[in-house]
Amino acid sequence: MFLSSPSMIPQLFSIQNIKNETRDTFTLELVSPDKLNISFHAGQFMMLYVFGIGEVPISISGNPTKTTKLLHTIRAVGTVTKQLKTMKRGDVIGVRGPFGSHWPVDESQGKDILIVAGGIGLAPLRPALLYILAYRQRYRKVTLLYGTRTADDLLFLSEIEQWRARLDLDVYITVDRSSKEWRGNVGVVTTLISKATFEPSKTVAMICGPEIMMRFVSVELQRCGVLVENIFVSLERNMKCAIGLCGHCQYGNIFVCKDGPVFAFPKIQHLFGKREL
C-alpha cells in the first residue's frame, strides 16, 4: 500500500556533528547507523522527525556529490526546530526523503549562473553552488549574491571566505544593517544586482529567501533582461505528508511538496504573497 512506502516511514539517523552558524542557526550532520547513503538533487528537502515532538521539512544544505552524510542548516524558530537546537552529538532523529523538485543545475550548463540568497535561503542554494563548482567548466560566469540582516547573520562564514578567494566565482555580500567593523556593502540584496556582471539573456537565476525578497529580486532581474522562464525560486509552505497526499501545501493543482519547492517563476508567480490556506 502507498502509505507504507518508504517515503512515509522515517529512517533513523544519528547526529554526528553540530555546528553553530549564527545565534539561532545551526548545521546538523546526520549519518545512518545502517550506512545508508542518501543521494539527492540540489534543492530537495527531507522531513526531520523529533520523536514525540513533531516533523519539519528542512532543505538539504550538503554537497550532492557526497552522499555519505546529510547536512541540514536550520534556524530555530518554533517547537520542532528549537528542540533540534538542543540536541547533542549521538542523538537520534527520524528522517524521510529526499522529497521535491530541484534546482536546474544540469539544464543550466553553458549559461551564466546567478545565485541569489536572502538570509537562511543560502542553505537550500548551497548544494546547487557546490554542484556547479564541482563541474565548474560546464558553466559560464557564476555569481553569488547574498544578503542578510546583519553581519552576525552570515552563514557558512569560513566557506564564504574560500568562495571569495576563487577566481572563477564572483561573490557579493550585503547586509541591511551594518556595524562599525563591517567594511562591505550595506543595503538589501536587490541592490547587488546592478553591481554584478552577467549576460542577462544567457543567465539562469536561482533565488531563495523570504517571498518578498524573491518577488523583488525577480522583478529586478527581469528589468535587467533575464528571461522570466530562466528564473527559479524555492517556496516554503507548511507541510505534513511531503508526498502530495494530505493537501496541506496545495494551491489549486500545485502541491509545493512534490511539484516544488523549486519552481520556474512563471509557474508560481500567482502564489506569491498568498496566505497559507
Ligand X SMILES: Cc1cc2nc3c(=O)[nH]c(=O)nc-3n(C[C@H](O)[C@H](O)[C@H](O)COP(=O)(O)OP(=O)(O)OC[C@H]3O[C@@H](n4cnc5c(N)ncnc54)[C@H](O)[C@@H]3O)c2cc1C
The CB-of-122 to another protein minimum distance in angstroms stands at 11
**Measuring CA to CA, which residue among 105, 84, 104 is closest to residue 95?**
84
73 near ligand X, judged by CB under 6 A: yes
Q: Which helix (H) or strand (E) holds 107?
A: none
- Give residue for cell 547513503: 37
| CB of residue 276 to ligand FES, shortest distance in Å | 12
At 190 the three-state DSSP class reads: helix
Collapsing DSSP states into helix, strand and coil, what is residue 28? strand
Q: Which is nearer to ligand FES, 85 or 240 (CB)?
A: 240
Smallest separation (angstroms) from ligand X to the CB of 50: 9
Contact footprint for another protein (CB under 8 A): 24, 75, 77, 118-120, 147-149, 153, 174, 176-178, 180, 182-188, 190-191, 194-195, 209-210, 212-213, 216
DSSP result, 53-72: TEEEEEE--S-TT--SSEEE
Contacts to ligand FES from residues 225-264, by CB under 6 A: 239-242, 244-250, 255, 257
CB of 117 to another protein, least distance (A): 10
Residue in 82, 88, 117, 111 with CA at minimum distance from that of residue 206: 117
Closest CA to 154 of 7, 23, 15, 6: 23
Q: Which of 160, 231, 240, 206 is nearest to 43 (CA)?
A: 206
C-beta of 90 vs 252, nearer to ligand FES = 252
Binding partner of residue 118 among ligand X, ligand FES, another protein, none, CB under 5 to 8 Å per kind?
another protein
Give the CB-nearest residue to ligand FES: 257
Q: Closer to ligand FES by CB, 198 or 263: give it.
A: 263
Binding site for ligand FES (CB under 6 A): 239-242, 244-250, 255, 257
